[in-house]
Amino acid sequence: MSTTDYEATAHQAGLQPVGDRVPLGEYLKDLWRCRAFAITLAKYRVQAGFSQHRLGVFWVVLQPILRAAMYGLVFGVLMGSNTRPDNFIPYLVVGVFIFGYFSRSWAAGARSITGNAQMVRSLNFPRMLLPIAAVIENLLELIPMIFVLAIIVTAFGEVPSWSWLMVVPVLALMTMFNMGVALISARLTVHVRDLTQFIPLITRILFYTSGVFYSLEKTLADQPRLLYASYFNPIGDFIALVRDAMIETTPSPPIVWYVVIVASVALLVFGVVFFWRAEGEYGRD
């Protein structure tokens, strides 16, 4: 029996080749049916990560705290008061924690297919589950960070209020945004492996342009056009909205909400379609 005859017989029996692309509607239904796989995989990886360190979950929280302390020591001393907000420590810690959620999700999403090549080649499941699981993993790690963030912010004089609840919808939108980025980068790195070498560079550029450790409003006070253009950076907008909710600062203009909503929805939709269109190519040399 020839290869063509084998394929015809398998098709008649309802069997599908590993990684074969199905219509988008059916694909999304399969994705929803297999959602427990992505959640379980994310939980397993979080637990495995904790087990590798003696400090466990405390190490996940300690890393961004140490990073914030380093940036605070360097930039808090080197920067003048013209660009440094009054409540610098809470301002900085929020920026480092929230930006870290984006950068880790992007890096993990980019490696989600190439780093699981054996699984992709041997099992028939929607490959989209892998970058989604990568983002869920980082979301689960973010949860204890948010509690620690609240403690730090309170310790430096911020009073807890109902506005803190606005962090939930902001992070929900950011999770959608991160999933879109993860899906796009997961497909691109399959075709262009060297792309992973540029992600740290692009991440560093975004870090320095998103107002993580300085006030964009103060820095660009004399350049209103650049300040207005900075509002179209969704990463900086997510950080600004969490700061609006948790610390006393100048409220962000309404355009910031418009940008994050449109960017999150548009990027997620584009990422889903973009990733799905190459479903049959994942795992093939």
Reported as a single tens digit per residue, the pLDDT across 205-241 is: 999 899 888 888 888 888 989 999 999 999 999 999 9
- Give dist(CA 64, CA 222) in Å, integer: 32
165-185 pLDDT tens trace: 999 999 999 999 999 999 999
Average pLDDT value for residue range 14-37: 79
- Give dist(CA 176, CA 132) in Å, integer: 10
- Give dist(CA 284, CA 27) in Å, integer: 19
Average pLDDT value for residue range 135-157: 89
pLDDT reported for residue 54: 57
Mean per-residue pLDDT of the chain: 84
Question: Taking the CB of residue 140, how many other CB atoms lie within 10 A of it?
Answer: 16
Higher pLDDT, 274 or 14: 274
Average pLDDT value for residue range 81-93: 76
> What's the pTM?
0.87
Question: Of 1-5, 65-69, 148-152, 218-222, which gets the smallest average pLDDT?
Answer: 1-5
Q: Is the dihedral of CA 230, 234, 239, 245 positive or negative?
A: positive
Where are the domains positioned within the chain? 20-281
Give the Cα-Cα-Cα angle 130, 6, 113 (nearest 5 degrees): 15
Give the confidence band of 8 by pLDDT, cuts at 50, 70, 90: very low
Ranges of beta strands (E only) in 117-258 are none
70, two tokens: 């380093």
pLDDT reported for residue 145: 87
Higher pLDDT, 238 or 8: 238
Average pLDDT value for residue range 91-117: 91
